[in-house]
A and B are shown apart, each in its own frame.
Chain A
């Protein structure tokens, strides 16, 4: 059973601030790490999937890194905008194909 933890639980930043949050997972039996963005009243949307230690992915102002040896991933948002407000979920797959989700980091960006 994978135990995926995310921190912080919630975050409140001003427009223009850069921010980051953490996803921790057991490094044994690791297969892939997914990041999803989940806006209120919508469904989760995939941001990144990473598998290799040292992987870095980027999409616009959002980027993510992966350390499989120590079991963590960081998600970075540069110059936060109000439309970045959402819950950011990470999820891991182990040797089975199913995703185990963390409880998410709720980000609120205000003007």
Chain B
């Protein structure tokens, strides 16, 4: 049963530290999305890729967040330096192409910045 995997599942860190979250999309999927779940805004899109190329990262604070896909099996979301307001659950999702195609979500990384 193919699934999106994310690591770590939980991360507690101190303000100012670098945090890297990893995602392995479902094999064969060519779109990858990063979302953040917050109490106020529900699921907000941070960035997405198609065929490893970044298509839109307008939802991401550029000064501290960066997203990359070093290869087709790995997507990373990095926060440097982290701040308490970054505390949230970060979801990765992958899909065959986007648009009408279903996105499949990973289990999420729960980040707590103290």
Taking a contact as CB atoms under 8 Å apart, the answer to whether B48 and A98 are in contact is yes
Taking a contact as CB atoms under 8 Å apart, the answer to whether B43 and A43 are in contact is no
Taking a contact as CB atoms under 8 Å apart, the answer to whether A43 and B108 are in contact is yes
* B97 CB contacts on chain A under 8 angstroms: 97
Question: Which B20-36 residues sit within 8 Å CB-CB of chain A?
Answer: 31, 33
Q: How far is the CA of A34 from the CA of B31 in the complex (A)?
A: 16
Taking a contact as CB atoms under 8 Å apart, the answer to whether B99 and A93 are in contact is yes
Nearest chain-B residue to A1 (Cβ)?
A: B58
A102 to chain B, nearest CB (A): 7
Q: Count chain B CB atoms within 10 A of each CB in A43, A49, A102 and give the residue with the most.
A: A43
Picked from A42, A99, A100, the residue with its CB within 8 Å of the CB of B103 is: A99
CB contacts between A and B, total, < 8 Å: 56
Question: If A98-B48, A99-B45, A103-B42 touch, does A49 touch B101 (CB 8 Å cutoff)?
Answer: yes
* A34 CB contacts on chain B under 8 angstroms: 102-103
Taking a contact as CB atoms under 8 Å apart, the answer to whether A32 and B99 are in contact is yes
Contact code string A44-67 (vs B, CB < 8 Å = 1, else 0): 111001010000000000000000
Number of interface residues of A (CB under 8 A): 22
Picked from B31, B42, B43, B106, the residue with its CB within 8 Å of the CB of A97 is: B31
Question: If A31-B99, A32-B100, A98-B33 touch, does A45 touch B105 (CB 8 Å cutoff)?
Answer: yes
Q: How far is the CA of A100 from the CA of B42 in the complex (A)?
A: 10
Number of interface residues of B (CB under 8 A): 24
Q: How far is the CA of A46 from the CA of B33 in the complex (A)?
A: 15
Nearest chain-B residue to A89 (Cβ)?
A: B43
B7 to chain A, nearest CB (A): 14
Taking a contact as CB atoms under 8 Å apart, the answer to whether B105 and A97 are in contact is no
A interface with B by C-beta (< 8 Å): 31-32, 34, 42-46, 49, 51, 89, 91, 93, 96-104
A-B contact pairs, 26 of them (CB 8 A): A31-B100, A32-B99, A34-B102, A43-B91, A44-B91, A45-B105, A49-B101, A49-B102, A91-B43, A93-B98, A93-B100, A96-B55, A97-B31, A97-B48, A97-B50, A97-B55, A97-B98, A98-B45, A98-B55, A98-B56, A98-B98, A99-B45, A99-B103, A100-B45, A101-B44, A103-B42
